[in-house]
Amino acid sequence: MIQSPFGGGGRSMVTQPTFKTLEHRGWSERARIYDRYSGRFCRYGIAALLNAAGISRGHSTLDVCCGTGEASLAAAARGAIVTGVDFSEEMVAAAKAKASNVHFQVGDAEALIFGDAAFDRVINNFGTLHLADPDRAIAEAARVLKPGGRYAFTVWRGPDVSPLFRILPEVVSSHGTLDVDLPPAPPLFRFAEREEAMRVLHGAGFTDVTFGDIPATLDFPVAELSDFFRHAFVRSTMVLDRQEPAARARIEEALGESFQPFTDNGIVRLPLPALVVSATRD
């Protein structure tokens, strides 16, 4: 299987920034436009996430990798007492600008500043995919949860069922190269594998692991193909930016052709299936 440019692969360069540094930089640069691009399809996970975590009135809730705060605000609308953390100062500023009924602050998912057993619920909407050490983040979620508390996170499913994650690496490898000067990234679809998700969650002290499918859709005007991929993603944008100009042009043309079966009246509508995973703190 061709490795997705969204995760894994890449040549190791001694002087390169780390994966975590590049993710921080990329998402910080996108904070002001996040809701217009990435937020459009990440919102699909929110209702399923809150339902899986069982969030309701009075629950102290931590939203990890909160981004611009959409999941935090949805949890607060259910009456939860919400804290949102993100490693990007710019994302936190954008979240704070939306509402005052959630406490937003800068924080590292892999080293949470909160005490043990501080929250009733912990959620993470598609943020696990962008962590250098997701196992550590899951262990931290367990640590800050009260016994019996519920944890839930969302992840995208892999190229076997997701046209986007099949088409993009195939096109890039056919017309350019996936072997670019980027630090290796954690496997993007690791936690979409149910056995692997259960193994890590059980190892972190969770029980009662459950899974739910999320039928999301990615939609954007085909005429804005280049603009969309430049702003909606971090890792894939870095891969595309490192192509030779002629190869980049061929890739964009081939992507447009590959998306034609999913295009109606100039709008690309790609199925983008996701998974919500939840578990109880032992």
Q: What is the pLDDT of residues 219-232, one digit of tens each?
A: 999 999 889 988 99
State which amino acid sits at residue 165: F
pLDDT value of residue 13: 42
- What pTM value is reported for the model? 0.93
Closest CA to 64 of 35, 87, 36, 30: 87
Which secondary structure element, helix H or strand E, spans residue 136, and what is its range?
A: helix 134-144
pLDDT value of residue 7: 52
Query: In sequence order, what DSSP letters do the residues of 69-106 get, joined into one string?
Result: SHHHHHHHHTT-EEEEEES-HHHHHHHHTT-SSSEEEE
**What are 61-108's pLDDT values in tens digits?**
999 999 999 999 999 999 999 999 999 999 999 999 998 999 999 999
pLDDT value of residue 8: 47
Q: What integer is the mean pLDDT of 197-223?
A: 96
Q: Are 151 and 217 in contact (CB under 8 A)?
A: no
pLDDT value of residue 267: 96
pLDDT of 4 higher than 90: no
Average pLDDT, the chain: 93
pLDDT value of residue 177: 97
**Angle at Cα 186 formed by Cα 132 and Cα 6, nearest 5°?**
110
Residues 6 or more apart in contact with residue 161 via CB below 8 angstroms: 271, 273
* More confidently predicted of 265 and 13: 265
**What are 43-58's pLDDT values in tens digits?**
999 999 999 999 999 9
pLDDT of 2 higher than 70: no
The full set of domains in the chain, from first to last, is: 19-281 (3.40.50.150)
State which amino acid sits at residue 52: A
pLDDT value of residue 99: 87
pLDDT of 1 higher than 50: no
Which secondary structure element, helix H or strand E, spans residue 164, and what is its range?
A: helix 163-175
**What are 232-277's pLDDT values in tens digits?**
999 999 999 999 999 999 999 999 999 999 999 999 999 999 999 9
Residue listed under structure tokens 């959630």: 102
**What are 130-149's pLDDT values in tens digits?**
999 999 999 999 999 999 99
Percent of the chain with pLDDT over 70: 95
State the maximum Cα–Cα separation within the chain, in Å, rounded to a whole number: 56
State which amino acid sits at residue 16: Q
Instruction: Tell me how far apart the alpha carbons of residues 114 and 41 are, in angstroms, rounded to a whole number.
Output: 30
